[in-house]
Structure formats: C-alpha cells, structure tokens
Structure 1
Amino acid sequence: MEWTLAWRLFKRELKQGQLLLIILALTLAVLSVTGLARVSERLQVAINGQASKFIAADRIINSPVPVDETILKQAQILGLKLSRNLQFNSMVYSGDAFQLVTVRAVDNAYPLKGKIELKNGATDTMPTKGTLWYESRLGALLDQPKTVELGNSQFILGAVINRLPDAGFNIFASAPLVLMRLDDVAATGVIQPGSRVTYLYQFAGNSPQLQAFETYAKPLLSSSQRWVDTQSGDSPIASAVKRAERFLLLSSLMGIALACAAIGIAAQRYCQRHYDVVAMVKTFGASAKQIRILFGTHLLLVTVAGVVFGLLGGLLLDATITLALPSDIAAYAAPLGRPLMLGIATGFISAFMFSAYPLLRLLDIPPLRVLQRQLEGSSIGMWLHLSLSLIAMGLLGWLYSRSLALTLTVIASVVLLGLMLGLMGMLLIRMGQTVGMKTSNPFALALAGLRRRAKQNALQLVGFSSALVLLLTILALRQDLLNEWQKQLPENAPNYFLVNIAPEEVKPLQHFLQQHEINATDIYPVIRGRLNAINGEEVITPEQQDQGQRGRLGISRELNLTWRNAVPPNNQILEGHFNQAKDDVSVESGVAERLGIALGDRLSFVIDNQNVTVKVASIRSVQWETMQPNFFMIFTEQALSPFAYTSMASFHLNDGQKKVVLALIRQFPTVSIIDVGAIIAQLKGIISQVSLALTLVLILVVMASALVMVAQTEAGMATRQRELAVLRTFGAPGRLLKWATALEFALLGCIAGLLAAVVTEFSIWILKTQVFDLRVYAHWLWWWGAPASGALLVALLGLWRCRRLLNKSCSDLLRLE
C-alpha cells in the first residue's frame, strides 16, 4: 500500500513540477560530470597520444643491460607492440678520415609512434641490410663518402636523416647520428663485454594493456633501469602534459563540487516544500516507516530518472563537442566505461549523501506544524550533514582523479570557503538590520529583504560565491597555464643551436650574428666533468649500486658544466645567493633534491683528470622547456677558466632567413648547427591542443556554475512569493518591486563577487604552490571586476527567475499561495 501511494504521489508531484527541480539538478549534475569525464579522458588520450610521438612509443624501458626476457614476454602476452633498440657511440672511418658517431640500431618495428623524417620526406621503411641512414653533417665531416667502416663491417651511406621521432632535445650530443638495422650490429663486433650500451625497449598499446604491464614490470626493474613515458621528464613536453592533466582533473573535481552543491540545494528545497505534507500525513496517523517509504521511493525514482537522463545528455554532449574538435583529436577514442560508471556513482552517491540531512529534518517535522507553520523540527544532526557532504565529495573526487593530494586540496579549499563565506556572509547581511521597511525606496526595500531573509540569503550567498570562486579559479589557472606555455615557447623561440664553438670563434660569431640581425641567446662555455664526491663521500652510479658497492648515489654520466657571472634567464634562485666567491657553485633544484645536496655542501668534480672542489652557494629552479641553454651546475669563471672548453648558443631564424645558415656553415665550418624547428612546431601543436582542452573544460565548468546559481535562486522562490503578495496587498507598485528585487539580487551578487575574489586568491595560492608549481601573483582586476560581474549576473538571473511572480496581480499571488 505504501509503494502504491508513493507512486501515485510521485506522478502527481511530477505533473505539478514539484520534483522537476531536483530531477533537473541531478540530470545536469550527472550530465556535467559524465561530459567532463568523457571529454577530459578523450583530450588526455589525444594529448598523450600526440606526446608519445616524442618518444616514438607509449612506454620505454631504458637499461644499461639487457632486460629479462620474461618481462618482454609478458608485454607480448598482454598484446603490446614491442620494438628493440640499441644506442652506443662508435667511430666510423672513410679512408684516413674518422668521426665519432651516435649509433641507433633498431628493429623493423621502429618507430611505434611517429615517423622517421628523411631529407626527401617521412618514411615508414627501414634501412636495408648493410646500409646506414645518417645526418647530413656526417657527410660534410667525412667529405661526402659513399661508404664508411663501422667496426668490422662496411656500410653504404643511404638516406639523409632530418630527424628521428624520439631524437629529443639533447643538443649536447654533438656526435652525428646514424641509423642501422639491429641485426647488422653483431657483424661489426663493436659491442664487447663492458661496452657502454643503452638498451631501449619501446612499447605501444591501449591504456588497460599499458597499465597492466606497468603494474607487472616496474617492480621488477633495477635502480639502473628507467621506466619512461611522456610524463617522466625525458620528454620535452612532460611539464606541459602534467600540468594539463592536473588542470583537467581539477576542472572535473570542480564540476563534481558544483554538481553536488546543486543537488544539495535542490534536495533541501524539495524537503522544505513537503514540511506541511509530512505534518498533515502524521496528523492522519501515518507511521514513521510509511513516511520513510514514501519519500525514500520518491528519492530513488528521482535519482534513477536524473541518472538516466544525465547519462544520455553526457553522451550527447560528448558527441556534440567531438564534432567541433579537430580531426586529429577526435580520432582518439577514450574508454566509455569509466565516464558512465562515474556518472552513475555521482548521481547515486550525491543524491543520497547530500539528501540525507534534509530528509532527516523532513521526517522529524512535528504534526503540530499544521497549526504552527513556523515549526521545522529538530536541527540536530548538522554535523552529520557536513560529514556526509565531505565524505561524498572526497569519495567522488578520489574516484575521478585517483589523486589523494588533489582531492584533499579541493576539500580543504571547500571547507575553508564554506567557513569564510558563512561567517562573512552573515556579517555583511546583518549590517542591513537597521534599515527600515519603507516601501517607497527600492534600495531600502532591497536591504530590508536581505535582513528579513538573513539565514536564507546567507545560504544563497554561499551558493553564488561558490560558483563564482570555482569559475574564477578555473579561468585564472587556464590563463596562467597558457601564459606559462607562451613564455616557454614564444613566437621567436630559438630553433637553431650552435655547439662546439671554439674560444677563438666566439667574437667572430657574435659579430656575424649582429651583422645579420639575428637575435641569439648568450654564448655559454661548456666543459665536461664528472661529480666525484659530496662532502668527501665518494658517489657511485646506479649500476655500481646494483653490483653491491657502497657509497652515495650520484649521476651515471658526465655533466655539462658552465660558468656565469649573473643568474641566467629562466632561472630563479630558491635558496642562497648566486656565485660570489671563487669556489661557489649553483645547483639545479631537481638534481639537488635527487642527490640530497644542500647549501654549504662541498662537491668534488673530476675535470680533465683534475680534482675541483666547490661549495654549494645556491639552489635554483630551471625552466627546461624554454629551448634555451640550461645547466645543472653553474660555476664561477675563476673555477673553470684553467680548463679547455667549447661554447654553445641558440637563436631564432624566420623561414625567410634560412640562407643565413648556409653562410654561417661556410664561415664557421667547425661549428655544429642543430635545427630543432620541426620539434618546436610539433611541441606548439601539442600546446594548441592543450589550449583547446582547457577552453572546452572551462565552458563545461561555466555550465555547471550556471546550474548552481539557478538552483540557488529557485530555493527562495516560495518565501519571495509570499512577501510579494503581502507587499502587493499594501499597495506596492510593480515598478518598485521590480527595482527592489533587482537591487536585492545585485547586492547579493556584489557581496558574493567580493567574497569570491578574496577566497579565490587564497585557493589559487594553494593550487599554484602545491599542485601546479606556477608563479603566484595578485589578480587586482578581480577586486572590482568580480563584484561588478557578480552583481550584474545575479541581478539578471534573479529578475529572470522572478519575472512570472513580478508580473502577477495580488489576487493571483494569493491564489498561488
């Protein structure tokens, strides 16, 4: 009987529109979360798919020794594509001429992502047996031979390589590159026991395959073997991709927070509307069990309807946005299961967790309310409401982002936001208590309305401010990320590097660059050295550690060292002072953290078979993505001047200035020129796709913010209807009421905007320092722009929602009541 009554009441209230708001809130909540998840995952797949071309694969195992074959067999069992590569240095000979080269020996599966770019265009083929593909400068260095000797074998010089997809940005690798077949290596005899060889195992597959393989393989790798992906730091776009994915996750968490707020507001409004119904049903003898079944059934039916409509809307939203995406992004398919499951979880978890407290208050309504409508039952359990709300947000946030740090950051911001907005909102609204009730002045009437509905307006203020805070946060982070990437890759970013500049060629080269009006970076001296000890403790390589040797872990290769009298561009001192004493050295923060180096430590280097000991005077951060020369260690000139050195620089050339390169080669034949223009173009393509992703996600968050504002405005309509009826009865003209309503909403919006500016500045500071590692600065425009925009937006929204009530006569309003 209870179920039948619940169904009948559900149909009646559905026809009357009583349940439409909560269904709409649930539908739009699930739609926004599903849409955000679907679009975000598609964009993440696309961004990582494009980024994987920089490493010619989805994942790489980089090892100084052959990897255990059982690991590779597991990759094949999981269905991953595999390519085996070797990389080593060797000498090639042509007659009496010889040259050190970097050899890449690859199998037929290489590259798994991207293409090899030859002088005559991209290709999918590989060198034939007994043939080397080579960089053009090798031919110039050896006087354009047709064949060369490598070890015990002779090779034909075939196609000229412009670029390999995973060539990277290592401009210090000045040795020309040659590409050969992997099965030609054995005949050369160049690889002997103890030879320094890098084994590269490249893998490609879909996300589940890669995740399963990573879970299996990573624990089996030694400390000298590295797991490489687009976010490992080996890729030049690692920082951009990491920040973009964090932004997408944060935006989705913001969308979940907004959706939960909309559902909570709608559920509270629904329960408030049924206080009289519960009181009346209790008067007629209904038991607590019957009432629970009645409204529990309503909640379940509403949740199911909202989830179904939301999932359909989310898929439609994804399809619509996909049509607007560039074809190279839309071609990537993201898994559908997780967005659907997240949408379902969002609907059910938020509906029940955020509706628990309003339902408890509804069930606690006393029968005496039939006679005394001001009775609303017990308010005990607010702590339960807050706890359930935070648990729901935390659970949904973790399910979506799978990042505990990001989820806790958002929850902490939400808690602080709620406390500040609640306290400040009540304080500002209570300031209107001394204003009279005169109906001749619309401004005074608006302030009086704020005073009469102080508690309700405080809740509305929280809703409006929350939406504005989240919107401003996403807008600011999007703009700051784009500005950060634009600074890293401006229009005149260096696209040529000059290396192996002899000391006597520095001044003539500077004159050449000035003569041709080329905007170049400073010329940096480069000296090779190996870190030997830290505070007298000898350092060992990861390979030596695997062999059981004891010592402080260091770096397994020689470092490129330089000297400077001032802090280089794109470097920032984090601790200490830049080199002042002769034996000072400045250390990059990442290396300092990895090796446990602190200010005052003594570092010993072996340079040209001589020991050099220096003191760490500063720790600095470096923007590695700027396409300019950067170094781990920067010395003073006095410390390195006794050693022989070469120099390097970078500069930018427009397409119309390419002839300058030929002139530079003729005048400075010993200087190596490295063209990275193609890499910059590919990197800019990735950044443009990330920019599109940020814009699309911003649009979705704007939609979710509008949902919260609409739901919050709807929450006060019943009280406003009664007040309008009373004011109409006492003769208040319609023009006065319209102005008073507009001003009341404008004041709410203005206060909400001011509070939003304050809280957003604090939230942005947390996110930039703890999550995104961005520069922190004040957004002064917000301090007047946010209140003005909030006043205009909320006033228009309030007038639009109240238009039907404001246009009705007194008798019509009383009949509605």
Structure 2
Amino acid sequence: MALKLAWRLFKRELYQGQLLLIILAITLAVLSVTGLASVSDRLQVAIKGQASQFIAADRIIRSPTEIEPALLTLASQLGLSHTTVLEFNSMAYAGDQFQLVKVRAVEDEYPLKGKIELSTGQASGLPALGHLWYETRLYGLLSQPTQVEIGHHYFTLSKEIKRLPDAGFNPFASSPVVLMRMADVAKTGVLQPGSRVTYLYQFTGSDSQLSAFEEQVKPLLNTSQRWVDVTSGDSPIANAVNRAEQFLLLACLLGIALACAAIGIAAQRYCQRHYDVVAMLKTFGASARQIRTLFSFHLLLVTCLGVVLGLLLGIGLDQVISLFLPQEIARYSPSLLRPILLGIATGLISAMMFSAYPLLRLLSIPPLRVLQRQLESASFGTWLHLLLSLSAMGLLGYLYSGQLAMTLTVMATVLLLGGLLSLLGFFMIKLGHGMGMKTTNPLQLALAGLRRRAKQNAMQLVGFSCALVLLLTILALRQDLLEEWRQQLPENAPNYFLVNIAPEQKEGVIQYLSQYIGEVPHLYPVIRGRLTQINGEETITKKQQEEGQTGRLGIGRELNLTWRNTLPDNNRLLEGKFNQAPNDVSVESGVAKRLGLTLGDRLTFTIDNQKVDVTVTSIRDVHWESLQPNFFMVFTEEALSSFASTSIVSFRLGEDKQQVIVGLLRLFPTISVIDVGAMIEQLRQIISQVSVSLSLVLALVLMASALVMMAQTEAGMASRQRELAVLRTFGAKGSLLKWATGLEFALLGIIAGILAVWVAEFSLYLLKTQVFELNVYMHWPWWAIAPLSGGVVVGLLGLWRCRQLLNRPCTELLKGH
C-alpha cells in the first residue's frame, strides 16, 4: 500500500513540477562529477600520451642486468609493444685520437614513441649495420673522422643526431652519444662478464594493458631495477604533468563538494515542502513505518531519475567538449566505466547521506501541524547532519582521487566555511534587526527580508559561498601553474648549451657569443667533487646503509659543483643568506631535505684528493624544469677557484643564426654543443595543451557553480510568494519590491563573496604548501572584486528567478498560482 501511494505521489509531483529542484540537484551532482571525471580522464591520458614521448615509451623497466624472458613474453601476451635499448660507455678511436662515448644500441622497433631528430630532419629508420649515428660534438672532438673504432669493429659515421626522443636533459653529460644497431654490439667485443651496462626495456599499450602488466611485474623487480613512467622524474616535463594531474583531481573533488552542497540544499527544501503532507498522513492514521517506507521509496525514485539524467548529460557533455578540443587531445578516448561508476556512487551516496537528517526531521513532524502550521519537527543534533555530510564528502573524494592530503584539504575548507557561516554570516544577517521593522525604502525592506529569513538565507549562503570558493580556488591555481610554467620556459629561454669550456677558452667564447647574441653570457664553472662528511661524520651510500654499515646517509656519486657570489636568476632563497663568507655554501632544498641538512651544518667535500670544509648558510629552491644550468651546491669563488674547472653556458639563438654554432665549433672544436630547441618546443606544446585543459576545467566548474546558484535561489520561492502577496495587499509598489528583492540577493552575494575570500585564501594556503608546492601569497584584489562580483551576480540571478513572482497580479499571488 505504501509503495503504491509512493508511486502515485511521485507521478503527481513529477507532473506538477514539484520535484524539479531535487531532481535538478541530483542531476547536477552526477553531471558535474561524470562530466568532469570523463573530461579530466581524457585530458590526463592525452597529457601523459604527449609527455611520454620524452621517454620514447609509456613505461620503462631500467635494469643493470637482463630481465627474465618470461616478463617480455607476458608483455606480448597482454598486447603490449616493447623493445630493448642497451646503454654502455666505451672508447671511440679515430687514428691517434680517442673519446669516451655513450653507446645506445637499439632494436628495430625503437623508438616506440616520438621521433629521432637528425640534422637533416626526422629520421625514417635506424642506422644500417656497421654504421653509427652520432652527436655533433663527437665529430669535433675527433677532428671530423669518417670512421671510428669501437672495440674490435670499425663503424662509419653516417648521420648527425640532433636529438633522441628519450635523451633527457643533462648538460653535464661528458660523453657524446652514438646510436647503433643491437646486432652490432657483439661485433665490438666490448661487453664482457661484469661490464657496467644499463638495459632499458620500453613498453607501450593501453592503460588497462599497462596496469595489468605493472601489477604483475613490479613485485618481481629487485632493488636495482626501476619501473619508470613519465611522472617518475626522469622526464623534464614530469613535474608539470604531476601538477596538471593534481589540478584535474582537485577540480573533480571540488565538483563533488559542489554536488554535495546542491543535494543537501535540495533535500532540505524537499522535506520542508512535505511537512504538511506528513502531518495529514499521521492525522489519518498512517504508521511511522508506512510514512518511512513512503518517503524512502519516493526519494529512491527521485535519486534514480536524477542519476540516469545526470549520466546521460555527463556523457553527452564529454562528447560535445571533445569536438572543441585540439586534435592531439581529442584523439585520446579513455574508458567511460570509471566516470559512470563515480557518477552513480556520487548520486546514491550523496543523496542518501545528505538526505538522512532532513528525512529524520520530516518523519518526526507532529500531527498537530494540521491545526498549527508553525509547528515543526523535533530538533535533532546538528552533529549528526555534520557527521553524515562530511563522511559522504570524504568518502566520495577519496574514492575518486586516492589522495588523502587533497581530500582532507577540501574537507577542512568545508569545515571552515561552515564555521564562518555560523559566526560571521548569521551575525551579518542579524545586522538588519534594527532597521528591519521599517520598510519605507528598498534597502530597509531588503534588510527586513534578510532578518525574517535568517535560517533560509544562511542555507543560501552555503550554496553561493561554495560556488565562489570553488571559482576563486580553481582560478588562482590555474593562474599560478600557468605563470610558473611561463617563467620556466619564457620566450627568450636558452636553446643552446656549451659545455666542457676550458679555462683558456672562456674569454674567446664570451667575445664570440657577445658579438652574435648581443649580451655578455654568464659562464658557470664546473668542478667535480664528492660529499664525504656531514658535521664530521663520514657519509655512506644508501646501499651501504642497507648492508648494515653505520654512518650519515650521503650521496653515492660525485656532484657537479660551481661557485657564484650572487643568487642565480632561476633560484629562490628559502632560508639564510647567500654566500657572504669564503667558506659558505648554498644547498638546494631537495638535497637539504633528503640529507637532513639545516643552516649551520658543516660539510666536507673531497676534490682532487683535497678536503674542502664549508658551512651551510642558505637553502635554495631550484626550478629544475627551467632548462638552465642548475646545481645542488653553490660555493664561493674563494673556496673553489684554486681547483681545475671547465665551464658551462646557456644562451639563445634565433633560427636565422644557426651558422653561429658552426663557426663556434670551428674556433673551439673541443667544446660540446647541446641543442635543446626541439625539446623546448615540445615542452611548450605540452604546456599549451595543459593550459587548454585547465581552462576547460575552469569553464566546467563555472557552469556547475552557476547551476548551484540557480538551484539555491529556487529554495525560497514559496515563502517569497506569500510575502509578496502580503506586501502587495498592503499597497507596496512593484518598483519597491523589485529593488528590495534585488538588494536582498545582492547583500547575500556580498556576504558570500567576503566568506568565499576568507575560505579560498585558507584552502589555497593548504593546497599550495601540501599538494602543489607553489609560492603562497595573498590575493588582495579579491577582497574588493569577490564581494562586488558576488553582489552583482547573485543580485541579478535573484531578480531573474523572481521575475515571474514580481510581475504577477496580487490576486494570483494570494491564490498561490
């Protein structure tokens, strides 16, 4: 009987449009999450797909020994494409000259992603057997030979390499690279048992294939083997990709928070509208169980309809948006299963959890409300509503992102917003008490309305403030991320590096470059040294530590050291003062954290068998993605000038000045030239795609926020209709009511703007320090722009939504039509 009545009630209210608000809220929730999830998944796959060209594959197993053949068989069975690259160092001879080179031996399938750039353009294949492709600097170092000898075999130098897709970026690499066929390695006879080699097993495939392979393979890898992807730090774009992914995750988390707020508001309104229905049912003898079954089934039907509509619209939104995306992004089509499941979970969990408290209040309505309409339900503890709401939001957030820090930040933001609404929002609404009884002008009437609807307005502030907080947070993070990337890769970013500049060549190189680039470049001296003691304690490597040796954990290799008496342009001082005394040293923040270094620590380096003692007096933040000379340790000139050094310099040349490099190599044939122009262009293309992604997500959040505001204004239409009827009956003019309504909504928008700035600044502080590692600063223009914008937008939105009520005759308002 209860189910039949529930179905009849559902159809009647659906036809009459009374269910529009809650269905719209649930549809909005599922649409926001499904749409954002599907679009962000597409963007993440696209960004990773483009960035994976920097490692020439989707995944890599890096190993000092050959892996088990069974693992490659497994990759083939899963449908993955794979190839093997072998790296080792060897000596190349040309007559009586010789040079240490890094040999990269490759199979026919190399590269799986990206292209080999030659001096003549993109390569269409690989070196022929018995031939080598070589870096430009090898040609100069060996006096332009036509053949070189590696081990027991002679190779023809056939083509000049401009860039390999997985070459990475290491301006300190002392050995030029040569590319050969894997079949030629045995001919050299160089590799013997115990030789130091690196195997790079490269794989490409779909996300599902790669995930299945990773799940089975990673547990089998030993400590000397590494599983590498584009976010592992081996790519210069890794940090940018990681931050872009975090931004997209955050946008969806905020979309979930937005959806939860919309459903909570709609559920509250739904239950309030049925207070009289419950009172009548109880008067006619309906039991509590029957009423509970009736409204639970009713809510389930509404939820299912909202979920279905939201899924259809969310999938449609993804398909429509893909038509406007760049081709590089649109061609990636990730599975829709995850967005659909997330949308269903969002609709069901948020509808049930956010409706529990209003439903409990609804079921406790006393039958006497039929006679005394001011009676409401018994008061339940608000802690229950808060607990259920936060649990739902936290559960959905963690299910989606898998990131505890980000989920907790969003929940902390919600708690702060709730606290501010309780303290500041309600207090500001109460300011209308003194003037609320006078209604001679629109402002006084608006303040009176704020006071009369204090509780309802507090609920509306939740929706308005949430929407503004989301917009401010997303807008600020997008701007900060794009600005940081622009600073790392400005239009005048260096596209050439000169390394291995001998001391006697420095003056000549500076004069030559100054003539063609129009400025005096800054040369960085480079000295190799090893950190041997920290505060008098001998350092050990991580491997030695694992073997049980005691000592202070250090760095298991030589470092490239430099000196400089002024802070490098692409560095930011975090602590201390930069290099003022002869024995000062400045340490990069990542190394300082890894080694547990603080200001005042004493470090001992061994350079050319001599000990150099220095004191840590500053810690720097270094932008490693800037493609400029960067160092872990920066000394003073007094500390290192007595040691032999080479120099490195970066500079920019226009495309019309390429012959400058040719002339430079003729004058200084032993200098190594590294061309990073192609890499910079690829980086810019990826960052451009990321920029489109961030702008798109911002637009989606903007649309979702607007829908929440529209749904929020719907909540008070019934009470406003009664109030307007009374005011019209007592002779209030239409112009007075329009101005008063607009001002009332504008005041709500101003209050929401003030609250949103407080909360957005708090959430940005947490996100920048705990998630994105960005600079923290106050957004002072917001304190004026956000309240004014909130007032204008909410005021106009309220007037637009109330336009029909304001234009109705008094008789229709009294009839409730």
Say which is worse superposed, 287-296 or 309-318, in terms of deviation: 287-296
1 CA distance for matches of 2:536 and 2:223?
A: 24
Say which is worse superposed, 27-36 or 68-77, in terms of deviation: 68-77
2 CA distance for matches of 1:92 and 1:664?
A: 23
Deviations 1:202-257 (A, max 9, x none): 22222223233333433443443333221111110111111111100000001111
Deviations 1:144-177 (A, max 9, x none): 3322110111112222211110111111113221
Equivalent residue runs for 1:654-665 within 5 Å: 654-665=654-665
- Counterpart position of 1:780: 780
- Counterpart position of 1:25: 25
Equivalent residue runs for 1:447-486 within 5 Å: 447-486=447-486
What secondary structure is seen at the aligned counterpart in 2 of 1:324? coil
2:528 counterpart letter in structure 1:
R
- Counterpart position of 2:747: 747
Is the Cα–Cα contact under 8 Å of residues 498 and 671 in structure 2 kept in the other structure? yes
1:229 equivalent in alignment to 2:234: no
What secondary structure is seen at the aligned counterpart in 1 of 2:802? helix
2:271 counterpart letter in structure 1:
C
2 CA distance for matches of 1:422 and 1:650?
A: 57
- Counterpart position of 2:93: 93
Deviations 1:730-752 (A, max 9, x none): 00011110011011111111111
2 CA distance for matches of 1:538 and 1:215?
A: 39
1:763 counterpart letter in structure 2:
S
Pair 598,64 (structure 1): closer, same or farther in 2 beyond 3 Å:
farther
Deviation, structure 1 residue 787: 0.9
Is the Cα–Cα contact under 8 Å of residues 265 and 459 in structure 2 kept in the other structure? no
2 CA distance for matches of 1:175 and 1:777?
A: 43
- Counterpart position of 1:14: 14
Gaps of at least 5 residues in structure 1 are none
1:263 equivalent in alignment to 2:263: yes
1:323 equivalent in alignment to 2:317: no
- Counterpart position of 1:615: 615
Pair 503,656 (structure 1): closer, same or farther in 2 beyond 3 Å:
same
Deviation, structure 1 residue 32: 1.2
Count of residues paired in the alignment: 817
Deviations 1:460-518 (A, max 9, x none): 11221111111111111111111111111111111111111222332333233333244
2 CA distance for matches of 1:576 and 1:612?
A: 21
2 CA distance for matches of 1:703 and 1:777?
A: 27
- Counterpart position of 2:629: 629
What percentage of residue pairs aligned between the two structures are identical?
A: 69
1:811 counterpart letter in structure 2:
T
- Counterpart position of 2:240: 240
- Counterpart position of 2:174: 174
2 CA distance for matches of 1:127 and 1:546?
A: 42
What secondary structure is seen at the aligned counterpart in 2 of 1:568? coil
Is the Cα–Cα contact under 8 Å of residues 520 and 651 in structure 1 kept in the other structure? no
Is the Cα–Cα contact under 8 Å of residues 137 and 671 in structure 2 kept in the other structure? no
1 CA distance for matches of 2:604 and 2:210?
A: 41
2 CA distance for matches of 1:580 and 1:59?
A: 46
What secondary structure is seen at the aligned counterpart in 2 of 1:776? coil
1:250 counterpart letter in structure 2:
L
2 CA distance for matches of 1:196 and 1:606?
A: 25
Deviation, structure 1 residue 372: 0.9
- Counterpart position of 2:807: 807
Q: Give the TM-score, by structure 1 length.
A: 0.97
- Counterpart position of 1:564: 564
Is the Cα–Cα contact under 8 Å of residues 579 and 586 in structure 1 kept in the other structure? yes
Is the Cα–Cα contact under 8 Å of residues 303 and 347 in structure 2 kept in the other structure? yes
Deviations 1:89-138 (A, max 9, x none): 22111222222211111222221211212233323522222221112332
Is the Cα–Cα contact under 8 Å of residues 518 and 653 in structure 1 kept in the other structure? no
1:174 counterpart letter in structure 2:
S
Pair 545,130 (structure 1): closer, same or farther in 2 beyond 3 Å:
farther
Is the Cα–Cα contact under 8 Å of residues 119 and 162 in structure 1 kept in the other structure? yes
- Counterpart position of 2:345: 345
1 CA distance for matches of 2:59 and 2:535?
A: 37
- Counterpart position of 1:252: 252
Deviation, structure 1 residue 267: 1.1
Deviations 1:420-478 (A, max 9, x none): 12211001111110004333311111111111111211221122111111111111111
Q: Give the TM-score, by structure 2 length.
A: 0.97
1:688 equivalent in alignment to 2:706: no
Deviation, structure 1 residue 615: 2.8
Deviation, structure 1 residue 544: 5.2
2 CA distance for matches of 1:65 and 1:583?
A: 43
- Counterpart position of 2:104: 104
2 CA distance for matches of 1:387 and 1:401?
A: 21
Pair 19,311 (structure 1): closer, same or farther in 2 beyond 3 Å:
same
Deviation, structure 1 residue 600: 3.4
Equivalent residue runs for 1:441-590 within 5 Å: 441-519=441-519, 522-542=522-542, 551-590=551-590
- Counterpart position of 1:592: 592
- Counterpart position of 1:726: 726
What secondary structure is seen at the aligned counterpart in 1 of 2:594? helix
2 CA distance for matches of 1:603 and 1:207?
A: 46
Pair 521,786 (structure 1): closer, same or farther in 2 beyond 3 Å:
farther
- Counterpart position of 2:135: 135
1 CA distance for matches of 2:114 and 2:471?
A: 38
2:197 counterpart letter in structure 1:
V
Say which is worse superposed, 456-465 or 807-816, in terms of deviation: 456-465
Is the Cα–Cα contact under 8 Å of residues 279 and 369 in structure 1 kept in the other structure? yes
1 CA distance for matches of 2:678 and 2:77?
A: 36
What secondary structure is seen at the aligned counterpart in 2 of 1:171? coil
What secondary structure is seen at the aligned counterpart in 2 of 1:466? helix
1 CA distance for matches of 2:413 and 2:709?
A: 20
Deviation, structure 1 residue 522: 2.2
2 CA distance for matches of 1:28 and 1:718?
A: 22
- Counterpart position of 1:359: 359
- Counterpart position of 2:709: 709
2:780 counterpart letter in structure 1:
W
What secondary structure is seen at the aligned counterpart in 2 of 1:99? strand
- Counterpart position of 1:429: 429
- Counterpart position of 1:145: 145
Deviation, structure 1 residue 684: 0.2
2 CA distance for matches of 1:546 and 1:103?
A: 31
Say which is worse superposed, 581-590 or 316-325, in terms of deviation: 581-590
1:663 counterpart letter in structure 2:
G
Deviations 1:534-588 (A, max 9, x none): 3444434455567676654433332111011122122223233322333322221
Is the Cα–Cα contact under 8 Å of residues 224 and 546 in structure 1 kept in the other structure? no
2 CA distance for matches of 1:53 and 1:487?
A: 23
